Structure 1
């Protein structure tokens, strides 16, 4: 099987900027409950005679894993109910999902909506299968890693699980061990330690931080994580619920702390113009000490051609504590990458058999075939697995909790404004107060 390293998250990142649209999901015709008439010889979509999957053309890892499962672990489920995959461009993903949902035409399984609020609309309208209930009926509880399940529940503000984690990424600071050692810097455990380390490195002529300022989100992640460490894991949900504002002094403190790093030049010259690929290359060729990034970068780190500093020279540290803060360093910044959902329409026992097989075997196959760390339980570790991949798996397994990213509960406009202006913090061209005022206004005041 061809092993693709195409990153589906770029399509997802674009989708996350799209609005929820104006279609009314609850006003469409047709039932959102499983249709018992759709059997092997029945009418309708006849979903018991095929298992449909819809993904984005930018991502081939999910469909590749499903095809591998169909040929092996899920062969029994595929007998009489073969996999029928399809893909559409990710740039209009959310809009097209809404059209399908309004016509009860969602695939049996598909990549979830890119905008969390739209996914919540699907859940409220009964379009998405409650996996907590389905797992209990199928007897397959416990196959999703607790940290991944908690992340997805946070993402959709739900007590139950409505999506599967085909990826599970932890985030934090990856660092060049040699650069720290050469300059007498210990991996920092607190924000003050991190600032002190940056001062030492900068004085020695080493760029402290590498970041894709033009993309914005690697910088805004720092703002969000500072808030979680200082105010607690529910701090940004309070903003979404209208109980707090990003312009409150304790929230502005976080943006100011990141802006201070930019003002000091710790992100390097023209930080706001550095894109994702340039930042990745800069870190992997020794151009900076600390690199805030998600574990999806393991593919780059483990590629000897790209990684000129060596995989054994890369360390990982969680986002540091803010001294006196309400948050915990054990709460790992995380995301579920590209979640997938199952639709309630045309859900039959045959689709349940596929759901069972995917839940039980996806993690092993995705890891073996694509090197993809997922939020599924893994029972077989590849013999050639890298130490960095093992480190990520161990960190996920040991996590006592997780926190989402800065924009996770924002409106689509708020997300756009935040990420558009994140580079201004890294370049020192925007104060924390100015940044938070812009984002708060875009989120509706």
Structure 2
């Protein structure tokens, strides 16, 4: 999870780490390792996967099961799993290890500007090439692979998840307020006041972690220009003060003026937000299908089990993206360190890719592969299967989260000032000015034009 506290020191660590890495090019992975071309005997030994996931979550459970199975036929093999679910702490750890050239064999990494630096230094294995060599690339959902793509089109992270993000809503709350699920982003704002009038918090929001609010900032620009806007913005080829950026900042401001967020939202964490929704106090929450076990099973209080519905990202006037285009992700990818890539690591990855999807889907999750049906758990409500079926009727575009696109320092500036914007302590114009200045200052260190 991303917390506001300590973000500026984190940015300094990231920048310093990249400077240290860039200044030394003597121990990078060989071109053969980058392409996934290694040869020689498979000698079992311990390897490490450093990840940014909850230790008892379905991804880690499934990977651990596969690793245990692999160890049975490869005595001496062991996968050491080190979990740091707090994302700022994890990101700082990766930056520190990267600077010291001590990254483990496997580590979690989004297709971020930081990862792009590692790629240009030949420190990441081309996972797309590996999948093709294993004959597995066509098994994966196109959007799962697309989410992992770098700007050069390459794939350097193995997708281990697949999830659609929806707006989950309380049907009874909407009925009492006399409103229907919104069709447009303007309708979305208009829903807040009648919900407030009926005693509901309109939107449950995890305000401690910067990315949930950053999603809302991205919605208008995505509807108006797809991902083109943020990809230009991050390099300084577009400005937050341009029309799509203005629309995004104004959207946050209008949500705030309409009382859409809970009082004190900035101190609420993920559990606080989900509790507000699953206890019926909040009418809506923006969440992904990774939480189907929380939102669509008998873990819900009895009165809510048949009251939970969902709608996808509303559209906007002048939209260039379709109603079936919204946030669809394959989660943070598993990157492979080219400096420690050997025949054993390659063989384990081939084994993992062949067996992981079935184990993951058995835990009630959507596999990143198309040929692995999800096992619906006992006690699931009808909305569980309904939400799963959406995976088969998605558009061909997915809204990229801005925290994976912007350079880390600028992203910290965006997240910090978004809270002020959503608290009505900053104007949309001032917000845009601050963001544009941050991009101008920081993007040259991360992007080659």
How would you bin the TM-score normalised by the shorter chain? 0.7 to 0.9
Q: For residues 277-296 of structure 1, what are the structure 2 equivalents within 5 Å?
A: 277-296=271-290
TM-score w.r.t. length of structure 1: 0.83
Say whether residues 1:336 and 2:330 are aligned partners. Answer: yes
2:21 and 2:98 in contact (8 A); partners too: no
In structure 2, relative to structure 1, the CA distance for the partners of 1:388 and 1:108 (3 Å cut) is: farther
Q: For residues 19-58 of structure 1, what are the structure 2 equivalents within 5 Å?
A: 19-20=14-15, 21=17, 22-25=19-22, 27-33=24-30, 34=32, 39-40=40-41, 48-50=43-45, 52-56=47-51
Worse overlay, 117-126 or 54-63: 54-63
Shift of 1:93: 3.8
Question: How many pairs are equivalent?
Answer: 424
In structure 2, relative to structure 1, the CA distance for the partners of 1:86 and 1:69 (3 Å cut) is: closer
What are the superposed Cα offsets for residues 313-349 of structure 1, whole Å, 9 maximum, x if unpaired? 2222111101122233222213333310122234344
Q: For residues 315-330 of structure 1, what are the structure 2 equivalents within 5 Å?
A: 315-330=309-324
* Map of 1:246 onto structure 2: 240
* Map of 2:375 onto structure 1: 382
**In 2, Cα distance between equivalents of 1:104 and 1:213:** 34
Worse overlay, 156-165 or 293-302: 293-302
TM-score w.r.t. length of structure 2: 0.82
In structure 2, relative to structure 1, the CA distance for the partners of 1:361 and 1:177 (3 Å cut) is: farther
Shift of 1:245: 0.4
Task: Report the RMSD for the aligned CA atoms in angstroms.
Answer: 3.2
Say whether residues 1:420 and 2:413 are aligned partners. Answer: no
1:215 and 1:275 in contact (8 A); partners too: yes
In structure 2, relative to structure 1, the CA distance for the partners of 1:104 and 1:138 (3 Å cut) is: farther
2:112 and 2:407 in contact (8 A); partners too: no
Structure 1, unaligned stretches of length 5 or more?
1-8, 41-46
In structure 2, relative to structure 1, the CA distance for the partners of 1:287 and 1:121 (3 Å cut) is: same
In structure 2, relative to structure 1, the CA distance for the partners of 1:421 and 1:115 (3 Å cut) is: farther
Structure 2, unaligned stretches of length 5 or more?
442-449
In structure 2, relative to structure 1, the CA distance for the partners of 1:388 and 1:359 (3 Å cut) is: farther
1:143 and 1:359 in contact (8 A); partners too: no
1:281 and 1:306 in contact (8 A); partners too: no
Which of these residues, 255, 258, 261, is aligned with residue 261 of structure 1? 255
* Map of 1:171 onto structure 2: 165
What are the superposed Cα offsets for residues 113-168 of structure 1, whole Å, 9 maximum, x if unpaired? x6811111111111111122222222222232111111111xx3231211112233
Secondary structure of the corresponding residue to residue 340 of structure 1: strand
**In 2, Cα distance between equivalents of 1:161 and 1:179:** 43
Which of these residues, 266, 275, 289, is aligned with residue 269 of structure 2? 275
**In 2, Cα distance between equivalents of 1:161 and 1:108:** 17
1:15 and 1:93 in contact (8 A); partners too: no
* Map of 1:67 onto structure 2: 64
In structure 2, relative to structure 1, the CA distance for the partners of 1:332 and 1:81 (3 Å cut) is: farther
Say whether residues 1:200 and 2:194 are aligned partners. Answer: yes
